[in-house]
Structure 1
Amino acid sequence: MTGTRTTATARAVTAGAVMLAWIALLWLLEGIDMATGNALDTYGVSPREPAELADIVPSAFLHSGWEHVASNSVPLLVLGFIAALAGIRRFAAVVLVVIVTSGLGVWLTAPPHTVTLGASGVVFGLFGYLLVRGFVDRRPLDIVVGVIIAAVYGSLLWGVLPTDSGISWQGHLFGLIGGVAAAFFFRRPRRPQGPGYVTV
């Protein structure tokens, strides 16, 4: 029991440290962007330009102003912390899938002559991941977590609709899809049951 508690505490500390460092990085990058006349905004994704594929990852760490980064910080911190509790390596893999899926979706479908950046695709991806993870892994506790997250952040789903030309619903939608897909990609292996197997 003590070992289990120690492991859980260590994971919580690690998850918290990772997410606080991530949020701090987002604010630092926005500060640099502001100080350099929005020079970092050039690393946003412009659709259907081959060279812009290299900007898919960096675009997820950049924002278009203090209000933008502030609006993403709290949900990213909360959802990221919960997701990271299951292990940092799995969390990193999930985030990578979400970033690539969201970025490719934007690159393929965003209107021409636009630049898309921000962590909201990751927020939607983590939301989708946590929403279905418990059902995919068949873990009752994670199902309960998913239900609570749906109750608290369910209004996020409106963000996948094209209701505001200044908001990338494409990034939100494909981020959500990437998160759900990641839950299946990285599902926990089930323990074999049946004759010949003994649980101790």
Structure 2
Amino acid sequence: MSETNFKFRPNVIVVPLITIILIWIIYYVEIKFGFNFNKYGIYPKSIIGLRGILFSPFIHSNTSHLINNSVPLFVMMGCLYYFYQKIATKILIMGLILTGLLTWVIGRPSYHIGASGIIYLLVSFIFFSGIIRKYYRLIALSLIVVFLYGSMVWYIFPTEERISWEGHLSGFVVGFLFAFLFRKQGPQPEKFIFTKNEEFENQFDEDGNFIEIDVTNTTNENS
């Protein structure tokens, strides 16, 4: 895939924007009508807790939690759909399911909510994918991601009781695995094909030694 294939398409903005708006609407409904959607989060090792795999990314505990997730989620989804257009939706849907499932397996007995698991999925995928593909534009993107969100790596460890580090770790691991598994899909570094110069190559023998041409023995047709 050449550089010119990186083109801006409406879904680069539309998909992240719709996602963020939907999350804010759900939060508004929860606050406005006094609902508590936390019970729809992931509850590990509980059959009913499996529903949280689909619902938990849209549920947030408070406004601060929502704001902190909205900006990086929008940025990372935008990057995903711009640079990995052909596989973006696949990465997002499969990543959501596998991240949630892994959280369900390793998580503490509590409701795990929020879009941070998806954010860690995207940050991890975009970072490692650029490195694995060895494509300079994607490597540059990886470095930008590290600059913006590199400090997030500390939250894949149990640093705070109220933070679902299990969800963060799950997203990080799934993102890394996807970067490897999908390395042959999506943008690839350009391959340069060098044409042979027969006139130049004829000046060397089979061993690579230069063949000297004796100009004194050449005939002049005009003599």
> Same fold by TM-score, threshold 0.5 exceeded?
yes
How many aligned residue pairs are there? 190
Q: Does 1:139 align with 2:135?
A: yes
Q: Give the TM-score, by structure 1 length.
A: 0.85
Question: Residue 63 of structure 1: which of 51, 60, 63 is its match?
Answer: 60
**Structure 1 residue runs of 4+, over 4 Å off?**
none
The RMSD of aligned alpha carbons is: 2.5
Shift of 1:87: 4.5
User: 1-side partners of 2:182 and 2:131: how far apart?
Assistant: 13
Q: Give the TM-score, by structure 2 length.
A: 0.77
Cα-to-partner distance string for 1:102-142 (whole Å, 9 max, x where unaligned): 21222112222x11111000111111011111122231110
User: Structure 2: any 5+ residue segments left out of the alignment?
Assistant: 196-223
Shift of 1:89: 4.8
Shift of 1:77: 0.9
User: 1-side partners of 2:54 and 2:132: how far apart?
Assistant: 27
Alignment of 1:15-54 (within 5 A): 15-54=12-51
User: 2-side partners of 1:45 and 1:177: how far apart?
Assistant: 18
Alignment of 1:1-200 (within 5 A): 4=4, 8-9=7-8, 11=9, 13-112=10-109, 114-189=110-185
User: Structure 1: any 5+ residue segments left out of the alignment?
Assistant: none
* Deviating more after overlay: 67-76 vs 89-98: 89-98
Cα-to-partner distance string for 1:154-184 (whole Å, 9 max, x where unaligned): 0010110101110000000010111111112
Cα-to-partner distance string for 1:6-40 (whole Å, 9 max, x where unaligned): x713x2x3211111111111101111122232332
Cα-to-partner distance string for 1:136-157 (whole Å, 9 max, x where unaligned): 2231110111012112210010
User: 2-side partners of 1:28 and 1:88: how far apart?
Assistant: 27
User: 1-side partners of 2:31 and 2:184: how far apart?
Assistant: 42
State the SS of the aligned residue for 2:7. helix
Greater Rg by CA: 2
One-letter amino acid of the counterpart of residue 179, structure 1: G
Shift of 1:66: 1.5
